[in-house]
Chain A
Amino acid sequence: MKEALLALIGIPLLGALLTLLTARSNRDWARTIALASTGLTFLISVALVLADMAGAAGVAGQYHGETRRLILGTGGSPESLRGISFHIGIDGISLGLVFLTGLLFPAALLLTRKEANINDWGFLAWYQVLQALTFGAFLSLDLILFYVFFELTLIPLFFMIGGWGGSMKIEAATKMFLYGLTGSLFTLGGIVGASLALGGMEKGCDFSIPRLVQVAKDRGKPMEELIDRVEKSREALKHTKTDLENKTAQAKFDEAEHELLQKRNAASHWLNWQTVLFLMLMAGFAVKIPIIPVHFWQPMAYREAPIALTVVLSAVLAKMGLFGVVRIVLPLLPEASVRLATPVLGTLATIGILYGGLAALGASNIRTMLAFSSISHLGFCLLGMVSLNETGLSAGVLQMVNHGITTGGLWLLALILLERFPTLEIHTFSGMGGRFKAMGVVAVLLTLSSVGLPGLNSFVGEILSLMGMYAQGSDGRQLAVLASLGLILGAWYMLNFLLRVFYGDERIPASVPVRVACDLSRRELSVFVPMIGLCFLLGLAPQVFLKRISADTHAVAAELSEAQFRATGSSHLAPLELANESHEASAHKGKPAAPRKPAPQDNKGGAH
């Protein structure tokens, strides 16, 4: 297992190196190397999934195939740089994403014709590097390691879009890079801040995700005992008889109350600080997904990138942001997530679902349509995650995989169309299904899956997402109702696309030689058939996968519900002055360092 994970990162890197060294003048050889290395990662990821299915159900917080090596941390090194390690492992949340990475990288390459301009040693080397980095990001269990992989993906993307893209490639590459860089720099600040706040500042820095999650979980616990103690001492105070007893009871009560007050103060600082960290961490992930106000790079990048790259950009790389949310943001910052995730991210996700749907409806090009539909679909993943309950979280993770397969499949369809025809403008096509039967069937099935037909995969993910959101209080209910309009929009634009391109009178773009315009070849079928099989499998038996992820999502959900209980449960103490204090604290939204009034000490006596 351990070796398999290392191989996932190592094989594409070796492939890239081999391409660089031996294939600079031979396009066929470069393609062979790239197909072999990405194909090997596919086999490994399939083996990982099978091994995992055969094994026992996962245990939360347990990662398979862990490798841990300290990178920085030798004696004499400065404190500020201590504790970065190469720490990788796989669990239910990352399993599906690793599988997607292993599936789509070779698929996109396999479907590209040999003569395409991307079968160039430079592009293929970068492509393999990108795959290695993607695997690395999904597998890493160390914050800095994750960041390194996450951020480094910008470099291959920049060179691949800028070097082999469409007519506006330089603008697209620059825009993508600058958006990504700006966002992820804030994420870096958030990572550093979270590790300092959670890992402690005396021992040097701790960047290990499992350890920090544990710390975050334990943070709120002592509070409950204290509340108990205050309650008890108050009771004791009421039942005192003599003066002396009263005095000691009063002293005890004061002490407990004072301690609680301090803890509350600390907790409210921690909450404010969490809010800042939440916003900083989310900046990078929001750009990567992308969420609405920072999505401007995405349609252009998807349009201008070579289409094989667009496939993996949309189907795999966008998941890095969502993965960051579920792996880092929610478990490390439970209180801030309870406070901000549903209202802020949920709203943005809903806006994204509707905006993406409307924009896709108006798109005249297949690429633009799929780009906007991605915004809409990823909105559903995010919506599920930010509902913060187990249903929603599982649905979010499941939907990431579903989107990878379905939208990935649609992008691959666009790829093979572009292999045959010079353009992807929707109006140039008509009645393709009549002439290309197999292609028509594939298109219909993928479209239906994307639309969310029951029995196919997206249905399960989307419905569970909406159910999760619906269960999340009244805000959640409103959002869920609004977001479900996105399903209708999705059906509208996807069926519209199907109707215009594959039905009606046969018309294909002029000036295409007939021998190029042919139906699906065996090579193409060998990619599409298994993908459609997966659509059915995940649609008819989602439990196979849900069972696998539930242990991990359950742990996150349990932590979040505890945090939620702490946030709302504090109203038990209404008779105490403290309660008001904490209400006031929670009213200070978005102001990290709002100077807080010291609690009025002389009010203590008023409690009895």
Chain B
Amino acid sequence: MNTDLTNLAPSPADFLASVSPAIPEFFLLALGSLVLLGGTFRQERPLWGWISFFGLVTAIALAVRPIVSVPLDGNPYNGPLVYDGLSQTLRILSFLCGAGLVLLGWEEGDSSHVAERSALVLFAAAGASLCVAANDLATLFLALELVSIPSYLTLFLARSDKNGRESTLKYFLLSIFSSAMMLFGFSYLYGITGSIRIPEILAVLAESSLSPVPEAVPAARLVGLVMVVAGLGFKVTAVPFHFYAPDVYQGTSHFGAAVLSTLPKIAGFAALARLTGLTYETNGGVFLPFESQPSYLFWILASVTMTLGNIIALWQNNLRRLFAYSGIAHAGYMLVALSVGREVGATGALAALVVYLWAYVSMTLGTFAIFIYLDKKSKHLEKVEHLNGLAKTDPIAGAILVLLLLSLIGLPLTAGFIGKLALVQCAIRRGLENAITEAHPTSELRLYVGLAVLILVNAAIGGWYYLRIMGALYFRKGKESPASNRSVAALLTGAACVVVTIAVGVLPALVTRGIGEVPSQIIKTNVLVGESQDKPVDNH
């Protein structure tokens, strides 16, 4: 057990080796700085837009074939960053999302801040991508801040009226407060375990939970856990840390809402998956070892979050407010994976989380893309009524929006369906597994089958308000407004999101490849718990 921070410092060669796969992120950070610097000289939309967009495309190309280099001691989980299946799929998601956001920010607002806007998206995308790979608490915190700080600035740039200022300030204050809570939790985790490396923390906690006199530790562990979950719950808008979302979304522009509802959530869920040990199962079977407390904590969070989000969304008429609540509801679905994860076998739960995260990001980003497109076109899009008759006045945008809504409802052949299917499956599975292995059904059966049913009930409630929008699009009469300005970039982003949604819906294996596996070429050495559980590693 390391009790001294200096012991953690690896040798320079080791450090370089473990950081080298992060070249795409460093590239994005450097490019972002350049764009920011260049923006002081010239403010040209196409120039900075194209540079940022191609920067992200390059980053994706670099990330698809990562440079996997093994730390000298051979353990992939010893560096500050870890590149396993989870980081692989989610970093591509972050970059794709960043590319979409660059396209959306292209014609947003006045032209005086176009370079800044693009640069901030680059930073935030790099931050989210680092966050999904972060393997120790310090890296994790820095990566999360790298997502948060650009989002404050994005909100600030998005709207300068009174509402915009209010929402910026609200988000800023609550966000730093949540960061502080998370740091507080981190300090507990470090204090108990003496390490900032997540696998080591989990291993030490696992040992301590096995020791005969763990009396002193549990309270501290729980404080740490609750604080960390509260801090990250803010990022993923879990109830009761969701209060900012509706106000902030409503107060900012469509673009600001698009940024807030995507990148921070990717980062938050990835961080939660790492911290609960969901990703480390194949590497020695270490789960966050609080018996079943974290599981139940996430159970409560998930059920309350999805139910509240969906029910309050029923009454919303402002589109961004509605999608804030819809985002809360979808976060609730994803929390199910974290609740279930501990015992179902991380592969299932983690895959469900990843599929749903892809689904959520593509659906939400696509929806906001269409909103931005329509907002540009008619100068005004705030309420559900403003979408009336869209299918007649603009069939293409209408069709894209309907496909996204069908996915949000969760109809087959879309990512929303396959995500819900995977979540329901892993929840029922967890309930059944215990009922079958133990001779008598435990409360777990009722608990987790209940959770699965709750997902389904919520999906039905969700259908209600998405259907209202669909009805407005197709069956209500709207007035044709003269098209003043068409944002082709936004429309293309929306179309691309539909493509992703359907691709994931039909072939979810595309985004779950390699999840729960350590990268190839790495021979697994199980130094975490000291047990030698050699499992075969698939090479492919």
Contact = CB atoms under 8 A, between A and B. Distances in A.
B435 A269 contact: yes
A518 B429 CA distance: 63
Contacts of B457: 185
Nearest to B352: A80
Nearest to A170: B475
Nearest to A594: B441
Given A182-B463, A192-B421, A78 B412 contact: no
B151 interface: no
Given A181-B459, A182-B460, A192-B425, 7 more contacts: A72-B509, A76-B513, A80-B347, A80-B426, A273-B432, A592-B449, A596-B441
Given A148-B412, A151-B412, A269 B348 contact: no
23 contacts: A75-B540, A76-B540, A77-B508, A78-B515, A80-B347, A80-B352, A80-B425, A81-B421, A81-B509, A148-B413, A152-B411, A155-B406, A163-B475, A178-B467, A181-B459, A181-B463, A188-B421, A272-B441, A273-B432, A592-B445, A593-B443, A595-B440, A596-B441
A262 B512 CA distance: 39
B497 interface: no
A192 B347 contact: no
B370 to A, nearest CB: 19
B456 interface: yes
A568 interface: no
Interface stretch (A193-201, A229-237, A332-340, A436-444): A193-201
A72 B508 contact: yes
Contacts of B476: 170
B456 A186 contact: yes
Q: Secondary structure at chain A's binding surface: helix, strand, loop or mixed?
A: helix
Nearest to A82: B509
Contact of A79 (B348, B439, B517): B348
Nearest to B468: A174
A262 to B, nearest CB: 7
A147 B411 CA distance: 10
A196 B441 contact: no
Contacts of B440: 265, 269, 595-596, 598
A80 B347 CA distance: 8
Interface of A: 71-72, 74-81, 144, 147-148, 151-152, 154-155, 158-159, 162-163, 169-170, 173-174, 177-178, 181-182, 185-186, 188-189, 192-193, 196-197, 201, 205, 262, 265-266, 269, 272-273, 276, 280, 592-596, 598
Contact of A162 (B349, B406, B421, B475): B475
B294 to A, nearest CB: 20
Nearest to B440: A596
B452 interface: yes
A74 B514 CA distance: 12
B424 A192 contact: yes
B409 A181 contact: yes
B4 interface: no
B464 A178 contact: yes
A161 B409 CA distance: 19
A147 B441 CA distance: 29
A593 B348 contact: no
Contacts of A163: 474-475
Contact of B456 (A75, A147, A177, A185): A185
A197 B429 CA distance: 9
Contact of B474 (A159, A178, A188): A159
A72 B199 CA distance: 32
Contacts, number: 158
A196 B355 CA distance: 20
A265 B441 CA distance: 10
Nearest to A171: B471
B433 interface: yes
B345 interface: yes
Contacts of B446: 592-593
Given A81-B509, A152-B413, A196 B429 contact: yes
A173 B476 CA distance: 13
Contact of B428 (A72, A154, A193): A193
Contacts of B474: 159, 162-163
Interface in B368-397: none
Contact of B463 (A76, A79, A178): A178
B348 A196 contact: no
A86 B418 CA distance: 16
B422 interface: yes
A77 B509 contact: yes
A151 B413 CA distance: 10
A152 B412 contact: yes
A151 B429 contact: no
B538 interface: yes
B351 interface: yes
Contacts of B460: 178, 181-182, 185
B417 to A, nearest CB: 8
A516 to B, nearest CB: 29
A266 B352 CA distance: 29
B180 interface: no
Interface in B471-510: 471, 474-476, 506-509
A189 B463 contact: no
B464 A265 contact: no
Q: Interface centre among A147, A188, A265, by most B CB within 10 Å? A: A188
A595 to B, nearest CB: 6
Contacts of A272: 441
Nearest to B445: A593
Contacts of B538: 75-76
A85 B470 CA distance: 31
Contacts of A170: 471, 475-476
Contacts of A201: 429, 432-433, 436
Contacts of A186: 453, 456
A189 B467 contact: no
Nearest to B426: A80
Contact of B459 (A71, A169, A185, A266): A185
A266 B476 CA distance: 55
Given A154-B411, A182-B460, A269-B441, A79 B347 contact: yes
Contacts of B436: 201, 266, 269
A189 B421 CA distance: 8
A446 to B, nearest CB: 34
The 5 closest A-B pairs by CB, nearest first: A78-B351, A77-B509, A182-B460, A148-B412, A80-B348
Q: Interface centre among A80, A148, A177, A188, by most B CB within 10 Å? A: A80
A189 B428 contact: yes
A188 B509 contact: no
Q: Interface centre among B411, B441, B506, by most A CB within 10 Å? A: B441
A77 B439 CA distance: 31
B422 A80 contact: yes
A188 B456 contact: yes
B515 to A, nearest CB: 6
Contacts of A174: 467-468, 471
Contact of A189 (B406, B412, B452, B508): B452
A71 B507 CA distance: 8
Given A170-B475, A189-B453, A78 B411 contact: no
A403 to B, nearest CB: 28
Contacts of B514: 76
Contacts of A182: 460, 463
